[in-house]
Each structure stands twice: as C-alpha cells, then as structure tokens.
Amino acid sequence: MIRNQTIVDILNEEPKHQELEVKGWVRSFRANRFIALNDGSTLKNLQCVVDFENMDADLLKRVTVGAAIAVTGGLVESQGSGQNVEIEVASIQILGDADPEDVKRTILQPKRHTLEKLREQAHLRVRTNTFGAIMRLRSQLAFAVHKYFNENGYYYVHTPVITGSDAEGAGEMFRVSALDPKNPPLVDGEIDYKQDFFGKETNLTVSGQLEAETYALGLGKVYTFGPTFRAENSNTSRHLAEFWMIEPEIAFCDLDGNMDLAEDFIKYVIKYVIENCQDDLEFLEGRQEQEDKSKPEAERSPMRLRDKLNFVLENNFKRVSYTEAIEILKNSKPNKKKKFKYIIEEWGADLQSEHERFLVEKHFKSPVILFDYPAKIKAFYMRLNEDQKTVRAMDILFPGIGEIVGGSQREERLDVLKQKMGELDIPEEELWWYLDTRKFGTCVHSGFGLGFERLVLFVTGMGNIRDVIPYPRTPQNAEF
Ligand code: 4AD
Ligand code: MG
C-alpha cells in the first residue's frame, strides 16, 4: 500500500526505494526533470525526479509553478547535492492547474518581491519561503504558550470578545451594534442603545484582564490567549487594530512574582522555538542578514537572529524603576542634545517609544523591566504604592520592539479602588461585578499582557507587525 505522507516526515526517512505518495504545490520545475515540491509542512522542498522520456509530454506541461500535484514513486538516495533523499517519479497527477500567464501577475512567480507587494497578496504569501517560515514559527510559539501554562498549573480561560466595559479605560474601542446605522432608534436626539441587541452599549474587548481577574480569584492561576481589538489610530510597524494577547493572572502573587513569571515564560517559549524550529529560524536569520546589507549601518541588527534569541535566554532582564529610568534619560545624550522628539524634562513624563528604545538598545543593551510608574500615566486598576504617587506597574521592553509586556499588581483594596475610579470618572455601576471581587475574599494578585505579534516579531526578526499575522487589520485596511 502506498502511504500519503508529508514532506517533513519523508525527509527524515531512510531511502530504501519504498513507494510513497506525496501531494503539494510546485515551486519549480527545472530542465523538464526536477520538480521542487512543497507542501507547507517544512521549509524544505522535496525533489521529485522525472524520467521525461517515459512520461506523457502533455501532462508534464501542466507541471507549472503554483500547481497542486500528487506524485508517487520510490524514495531513493539523492544523486545531487542539497538533499539526502529524492523521489524517483512513477506517476504524476495534476490536482489543480496554475496557468503560467496568470501566475506571472502574482507573487507565486519565483523572484524577489517586496514585503509590501506580498501584503497586497496576503492570501498567497504563505506559499513563499519567508511567510511559510513565519507562520510555522507563529504556530509553534502559540503551542509553546499553552504548553508553558499547562505545565505550570494554569487554567486556560476564555474571556468574552464582546464586552460592556473598557478594561484599559483608554476609550479605543470598536462598537458592536446590531442597530440599523441608517435609522437607529433615538431618544432626545441620541442613539438609544437600550433597543440594541444587548440592551446596552457594547464593544470588542481591548483586554481580557478584568474577567481574567475574577477567574484567578477562583481558580488561582489562569491565563487567556485570544484576539483583542483597539481602535487606536497608530499607523506604526508595532500596532495592529486586531492582535492576540496572552494574559496570565495569578492570585496571591505580587509584582516581584509577576516579573519572575514574565521572564521565565518568555525565556521558555523562545527556548522552545530554538529547539523545535531550527530550519525556519536559520532561514529567517539569513533573510535578515540579506536585508541588512541594503540598510545603512545604524539600522542594521546588532546581532544575528539566533544569537539575539540566545542572548535573551542567557541574561537576566534588567529591573529598573521608572524613577531611575527618568534619571538615566534626563542625563542621556539625545535628551541633552535635543535629539529626542519628546524631551524628558521631569519626573512624571510618559515614556515614548524613542525613550524605551534608548534604554534597551543603547543604555542597558538587554531586555529591561521598568516598574513603579507614576499613577497618573497608568490604568485605574494598578496597586497604589505607599508613596501615594506611583503604582505597582511593570512594562517589559525588548530591543527592536520596545514594549512587549504591560502588567501590574492589582489594587485589591476596595476603598482605594473606588477612590481611583471616582477620580477617573469610571462609573461603579459599570464595574459592579469587578468591585464585588474586592468585597468577597479579596487578595493580592497580579498579571500581565504580552502582545503575541510583538513576540513573533522579535523571534522572526521581521520589521513590521503586518508581516507576522496572516491578515493584518490596520487603519484603512481590512482586505481579505
Ligand atoms: O499594555 P497593554 O495595553 O496592557 C493591557 O492591556 C493589560 N490589561 C494587560 C494585563 O495586565 N493583563 O497591552 C499589553 C501588551 C503590550 O505590551 C503590547 O505588547 C501589546 O499588548 N499591544 C499591542 N500589540 C499590537 N498592537 C497593538 N495596538 C497593541 N497594543 C498593545
Ligand atoms: Mg502598555
């Protein structure tokens, strides 16, 4: 019996002339003899050698770049260099044609295409080596996330995608409504959301944190990993309107425990892909080196991709208070020479990505955990410190990325939390359920959010967040 196998498995087999069947897409067909077949299971192609003199010429004409085919034949030791095994083709079946004239106007055409061009054909880009590698890595990273939490006693909680509250209090939400936009019901000239589907205003979630907190205060250690949405009009290479966030939340854990967890977790998932995705990482490393050649010296990556990943594994993240960071920034060259767009004048200033990148890339040259931020620039739920002006917040900053994690110890004291909400005009009625958790067995607890695409950016060495998610959602763009 002939087995139908994936290429990743076939390439690990001993060549004993065993008969097999393999299906994939043609990457190239050289000299009417060598088909490079790829099925997505690995970066590597399987070489299928055709004895064209004994094959139907009309059939071979249909073996074109992009076509889907099934090949049967014996697995033999390869005569050529570049692969250990190859298939001696016995039969070919065309499963789906690809007209070469049509292929010419797509990115399937084998030549170098810009990343912008690939984005325009995001439905086809996964068939390129670069996007195959990125998306396999993304999948493996997601698996490693679940593996880590599962091995460490966390329960996976599915927090709602549609919510009635603004977890971050930043107001960057997409409204969810089933009302007729052309003719909504009005009361006193305003849209009457009481008549909407949920009987109130609802939106897509910006974070699962508040709901995750309620679950941590029952299950102990939980995490969420799901899509989150932000209607912030930031057209940058680090922002998406729809992104995936990982949010652990832990009862009886303070900020130090939270930092330890974040560091251990990040190191674990990076180690996992170093061990399990060698081919794809090697390919992306080469790609980055190639890209760097066309960049000015200052913009090149200071380390090779796998060296950079190993560096993160081998070094402790630097833990620095906001106050120390402000001193460093105030006295820094770019601040004194007014090279920063936003000059740091005094304590209390919000840090911009230029400041974060200076700290990580120029000053510490390592991942940094900044903690104890001014209360004024952070969200309402963060625990107030004894000094009454800072909160137990932490941000983790990564080279080339900037902020990758944002988290905190949560305010567990009902009176302090209520006072803070009052100051920020957050209605208690809206978060009555959240406040309940502070009434019934409240306790010290902490958590953080890690932007999954920022992690994928770091691990793949790509430069734009639009290239590490299958179908990016950004301002003015929701194609596909
Ligand atoms: O710092 P943020 O806004 O924190 C929260 O949402 C907390 N509720 C998390 C928590 O404590 N459970 O977002 C967390 C992380 C950021 O550090 C960043 O990595 C990522 O989410 N992120 C984005 N990633 C892509 N595009 C955007 N527009 C992002 N906004 C935040
Ligand atoms: Mg943040």
For residue 76, is pLDDT > 90? yes
Q: What pLDDT digit, counting tens, does each position of 280-337 carry?
A: 999 999 999 999 999 998 888 889 999 999 999 999 999 999 999 999 999 999 999 9
pLDDT given at position 337: 96
Rounded to an integer, the average pLDDT of 250-266 is 98
Nearest residue by C-alpha to atom 29 in ligand 1: 239
Per CATH, which fold does 129-170+206-467 belong to? BirA Bifunctional Protein; domain 2 (3.30.930)
For residue 405, is pLDDT > 90? yes
For every residue of 443-476, DSSP letters joined together read: --EEEEEEEHHHHHHHHHT-S-GGGSSSS--BTT
pLDDT band at 1 (very low <50, low <70, confident <90, very high): low
For every residue of 263-312, DSSP letters joined together read: HHHHHHHHHHHHHH-HHHHHHHHHHHHHHHHTS-GGGS-SS-HHHHHHHH
Map residue 243 onto helix, strand or coil: strand
* Nearest atom (ligand 1) to Cα of 206: 6
Distance 242 CA to ligand 2 centre (A): 15
CATH architecture of the domain formed by 3-107 = Beta Barrel (2.40)
* Nearest atom (ligand 1) to Cα of 245: 21
pLDDT band at 171 (very low <50, low <70, confident <90, very high): confident
For residue 2, is pLDDT > 70? no
Distance 443 CA to ligand 1 centre (A): 24
For residue 166, is pLDDT > 90? no
Nearest residue by C-alpha to atom 31 in ligand 1: 451
Nearest residue by C-alpha to atom 1 in ligand 1: 406
Give the distance, in angstroms, between the CA of residue 203 and the centroid of all CA atoms in the same chain. 22
The beta strands (E) that lie in 32-174 are given as: 34-38, 46-49, 68-77, 85-96, 155-156, 162-163
Distance 350 CA to ligand 1 centre (A): 16
pLDDT given at position 217: 98
For residue 343, is pLDDT > 80? yes
* 382 DSSP assignment: B
Give me the percent of the chain exceeding a pLDDT of 70. 99
Q: Which residues line ligand 1 (CB under 6 A)?
A: 167-168, 207, 209, 230, 232, 239-240, 243, 245, 247, 403-408, 447-451, 453-454
| Average pLDDT score, the chain | 96
pLDDT band at 80 (very low <50, low <70, confident <90, very high): confident
pLDDT band at 168 (very low <50, low <70, confident <90, very high): confident
Tell me the C-alpha to C-alpha distance, in Å, between residue 184 and each of 175, 198, 199: 14, 15, 13
Strand partners, 28: 36
Q: Looking at the chain, which residues constitute the CATH 3.30.930.10 domain(s)?
A: 129-170+206-467
Q: Looking at the chain, which residues constitute the CATH 2.40.50.140 domain(s)?
A: 3-107
Contacts of 333 (CB under 8 A, 6+ apart): 339
* 428 DSSP assignment: T
